Structure 1
Amino acid sequence: MAGHRTEDHPHGADRLCDAGDRVYSRAVRRGRVAREDAERVPCLLELALLHPDPDDMDWLVPTSPQEVMTRLLRGVYDEVTASHGRVGSAVAAVEWYAGLGGRVQASAASAEGAGAAIRVLDGLSRIQAAMDEATEACTTEVLTVQPGGIRREDELTEGLHRALALRGRGVRMRDLYTHVARHGQGLLNYLELMGDTVEARTLDEVIDRLILFDRTVAFIPANSDRTMALELRHPALVGYLLTVFERLWRLAIPLTAPLPDTGIEGISHREQSIAALLAEGHQDAVIAERLGISVRTCRAHIARLSETLGAASRTQLGVRIAQVGLDGPPRPAGPQVASVILPDRGSPTAR
């Protein structure tokens, strides 16, 4: 993008430069434009007039002129008391975008309709803006899945303004975390602040981050570093994610309830989860990521597990795990169905 920096396009969304006009007009007529064609007009991306095609990241699709008009008018409305002079320029912009709207063909309109159901949010600022907009529109319920381990204070503070706004309107919230999150004081402080507005439960492992507003719009990550997200409004997709959440919720343990005992002396609930993942053949790093702990902590648990089961090697550990019945997901406490004598231990324990 050398020679075509943002400074070369000093304008707002109310009127495009000549280069931006040509590229945006072509995108509206054809339904999309190659990302490389838009590199010389970065203003189109910065003003959200073009955004990534969810089906092919090498292409950009145009924001509909109608949506641009709505955005302009909403922004002008907020500032009209401070600057009445902007009303005239907004009216002119509406007429300009309305003229472009007449060029949209039926096929392009159909493609735009599909794009509205799946919108790619490129960059943290656009993600935050979309989340704030969904928060303002939310009236009933928010469901979230928060993967990873202990939540950092900055992560909790980042969305605190949205949570407080929701609480003020009586919106109910349900949050799913991993068991490791129970040990974070920041999370406990957050839940105490929110009171009975938020209900939290935990699992050994959860899916990637998910936020559902009023069962109509969902946000999920679109890349590994979470600098891109998908905003989903398609009823089938949102319904599917809602089903996934509800099934995980039924399996989860309330944060106020203790984790169940494994029923095997000397083996903690977390070590039982690690044993099950080891039995599936996962490496230490994968196990650590899925359970929300560090690799170092994971290996320390494996070492204690080996010592408890009297295993001298990883191969032998796998055999011991199968022998005592740790090669499946943690089971709720129930009646004793068998007795197992651990190596170098004299007392039988419930399997």
Structure 2
Amino acid sequence: MELYTRITQNEPVTANDTVRLAELRAWGLIDYDPAAPDTPVAMPPRDAGWRMLHAGLQDLAARAAQMAVVPAAADQLNQAFERGKWSAGSGSEFLSEPATVNARIQDALGQAREELLAAQPGGPRTRENMDIALERDSAALGRGVSMRTLYRDTVRDDALTSEWATTMAGRGAHFRTLASPFERVIIVDRKVAVISNYVVPDAPEHAAWIVSDRAMVALLAQVFEQEWRRADPWHGERRAHKADTGAAGARTSRLQREIMRALAAGEVQESAAKHLGISRRSLQRELEALRTVWRTATTSIGELTYHWALSPDRGIDDQAVEQAA
């Protein structure tokens, strides 16, 4: 204030005023005449005040806009933080991207030295999957790795998977099939396991978890062994189709009974097909076959469920039949 008053009265400034002159100029209260660059000129305080107020309001608006996005940004960052905690020393690591999942699985399988256990409920193999796995699995067998794979019973009808099993069985791999549902898991040397995602909501379909906790991997291996004991050995041979799959007097196949149990429990056809590891078209063919068995003119789920409720096959205990066999 004192320096500004002196400038308005045209009093000279000194070297001691340098810092305060810079402050006054920053506020817009003084300027310099190009013709006399060493002589400060007082500017109207009201105009300078409005300019400072406008600049301050703009700064506040920018800060308010920045603060407004903080909660949403923090939520997004927190998701990454929580996922990071999942993989930090907990023995489990979440993988969301299919390419990452496949790369990690390939790496884990390539590191196997003693044993590979795989439960694959997803149905028949594709030619692409076979080509990828042929060299890798053959190399594992060549270095003495024991390899056992559990498939759904439906793969016995698939030419490509039968070809795969025949080829790999000849090289020392072991296969079994199971008609009832089971969970997907890959276990390497009983040290690392890969399982499907049941934790992260809305994750991609092929998301997975890498499990390295010793106790959990041991439990998964024990579950695999239980399913393996219930399953039927398979060397890749295609099966001859017949209605009776082992139950005396049965008019329906094991797969047809599994389908009807799922539909009677309220599952829609698409869900039942996925659950049983078959295509929607295969399920439709089995329903068409049941129409012939029960001599009904329609394949509506309601009518088929009615016939299933009255069918003696409904009382067949397929697991007991397997154990007896």
**204-213 or 169-178, which deviates more:** 204-213
Of 221, 226, 232, 1:247 maps to 226
Aligned to 2:307: 320
Of 255, 267, 284, 2:269 maps to 284
Q: Contact 1:209–1:221 (CA<8 Å) still a contact in 2?
A: yes
Deviation at 1:332, TM superposition (A): 5.2
What secondary structure sits across from 1:200 in the alignment? strand
Of 118, 124, 133, 1:144 maps to 118
* C-alpha distance in structure 2 between counterparts of 1:192 and 1:317, whole Å: 37
Aligned to 1:23: none
Deviation string, structure 1 residues 187-237 (Cα, Å, up to 9, x no partner): 2222233225211111124334311001110012334521x3211011222
What secondary structure sits across from 1:112 in the alignment? coil
Between Structure 1 and Structure 2, the one with more helix by share is 2
Structure 2 portions without partners, runs of 5+: 1-72, 198-202
Change (3 A) 1:124 1:271: closer
Aligned to 1:300: 285
**Paired amino acid for 1:303:** E
Change (3 A) 1:57 1:207: farther
Q: Contact 1:170–1:197 (CA<8 Å) still a contact in 2?
A: no
Change (3 A) 1:263 1:272: farther
Change (3 A) 1:131 1:282: closer
Q: Contact 1:202–1:254 (CA<8 Å) still a contact in 2?
A: yes
Aligned length: 235
Change (3 A) 1:211 1:315: same
- Report the RMSD for the aligned CA atoms in angstroms: 3.2
* C-alpha distance in structure 2 between counterparts of 1:329 and 1:311, whole Å: 25
Identical columns (%): 27
* C-alpha distance in structure 2 between counterparts of 1:202 and 1:214, whole Å: 22
Aligned to 1:238: 217
* C-alpha distance in structure 2 between counterparts of 1:148 and 1:266, whole Å: 27
Aligned to 1:267: 252
Deviation at 1:250, TM superposition (A): 1.4
Aligned to 1:82: none
Aligned to 1:225: 205
Deviation at 1:276, TM superposition (A): 2.4
Q: Contact 1:171–1:197 (CA<8 Å) still a contact in 2?
A: no
Aligned to 1:163: 137
* C-alpha distance in structure 2 between counterparts of 1:333 and 1:316, whole Å: 27
Aligned to 1:74: none
Deviation at 1:121, TM superposition (A): 2.8
Aligned to 1:81: none
Structure with max Cα Rg: 2
TM-score normalized by the length of structure 1: 0.58
What secondary structure sits across from 2:175 in the alignment? strand
Aligned to 1:9: none
Structure 1 portions without partners, runs of 5+: 1-32, 38-52, 64-110, 335-351
Structural mapping, 1:189-208, within 5 Å: 189-194=163-168, 195-208=170-183
* C-alpha distance in structure 1 between counterparts of 2:291 and 2:217, whole Å: 43
The structure, 1 or 2, with the larger RCO (C-alpha pairs under 8 Å, 6+ apart) is 2
Change (3 A) 1:143 1:169: same
Deviation string, structure 1 residues 7-57 (Cα, Å, up to 9, x no partner): xxxxxxxxxxxxxxxxxxxxxxxxxx96845xxxxxxxxxxxxxxx9xx55
What secondary structure sits across from 1:325 in the alignment? helix
Structural mapping, 1:1-351, within 5 Å: 36=76, 59-61=82-84, 112-114=88-90, 117-194=91-168, 195-222=170-197, 223-226=203-206, 228-256=207-235, 260-264=245-249, 266-311=251-296, 314-323=301-310, 324-326=312-314, 330-331=318-319, 333=321
Q: Contact 2:259–2:272 (CA<8 Å) still a contact in 1?
A: yes
What secondary structure sits across from 2:313 in the alignment? coil
Q: Contact 1:276–1:329 (CA<8 Å) still a contact in 2?
A: no
